[in-house]
């Protein structure tokens, strides 16, 4: 090989080595920038999706606040009604308790036949009421069976 050419080839290799080294670094940096730009390009749709979701969340929170306000109003009304009705219920319970306690009446010996007649009348009425309740119970049982039969017929 000609010395001039050999020297030129040597300089070409030295320069190419230095240029290749810098070019490789620049190429690496360029690839990193491309990756970052591509990543930012992916972020735009994700950011749009997050903004849409944030709007959905804000609407849901607003609806929940409205429901909470209505529920709070209802709870306050219920507490007011309970406070208003509690004394009446207590008075009613007291009256029931007084009525449940037996009252012992004292009377004379002449009142015994009348008391026995009254007791007999009460017992007879009690027996009639029991008979009526038994009839009502039987009627309700029959209605239940009929409703079950109708329900089974419509389920088929």
pLDDT of residue 153: 73
89: in domain: no
Is 47 contained in some domain? yes
Domain housing 153: 104-156
Tell me if 86 is assigned to some domain. no
**Residues 60, 123 within the same domain:** no
Does pLDDT of 3 surpass 70? no
- Do residues 60 and 11 both lie within one domain? yes
CA distance 142 to 149: 11
Q: Are both 71 and 128 inside the same structural domain?
A: no
pTM above 0.75, yes or no: no
45 and 114: one domain?
Answer: no
Give pLDDT, residue 64.
Answer: 92
Does one domain contain both 115 and 54?
A: no
CB 115 within 8 A of CB 107: yes
Question: How many structural domains is the chain composed of?
Answer: 2
Q: Would you state the pLDDT for residue 121?
A: 93
Residue in this structure with the two tokens 């730009």, named with its chain if needed:
37
**Mean pLDDT computed over 144-153:** 84
Please state the rounded mean pLDDT for residues 82-103: 85
Do 60 and 16 sit in the same domain of this protein?
yes
Q: Which residues contact 1 (CB under 8 A, 6 or more apart)?
A: 9
Q: Are residues 116 and 71 in the same domain?
A: no
């Amino acid at each position: 090989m000609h010395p001039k050419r050999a020297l030129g080839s040597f300089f070409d290799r030295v320069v190419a080595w230095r240029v290749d080294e810098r070019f490789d670094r620049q190429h690496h940096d360029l690839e990193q920038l491309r990756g970052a730009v591509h990543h930012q390009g992916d972020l735009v749709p994700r950011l749009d999706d997050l903004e849409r979701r944030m709007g959905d969340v804000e609407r849901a929170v607003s609806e929940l606040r409205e429901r909470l306000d209505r529920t709070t109003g209802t709870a306050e009304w219920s507490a007011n009604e309970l406070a208003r009705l509690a004394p009446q219920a207590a008075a009613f319970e007291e009256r029931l308790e007084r009525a449940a306690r037996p009252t012992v009446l004292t009377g004379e010996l002449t009142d015994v036949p009348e008391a026995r007649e009254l007791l007999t009348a009460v017992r007879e009425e009690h027996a009639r009421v029991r008979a009526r309740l038994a009839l009502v119970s039987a009627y309700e049982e029959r209605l239940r069976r009929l409703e079950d039969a109708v329900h089974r017929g419509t389920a088929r």
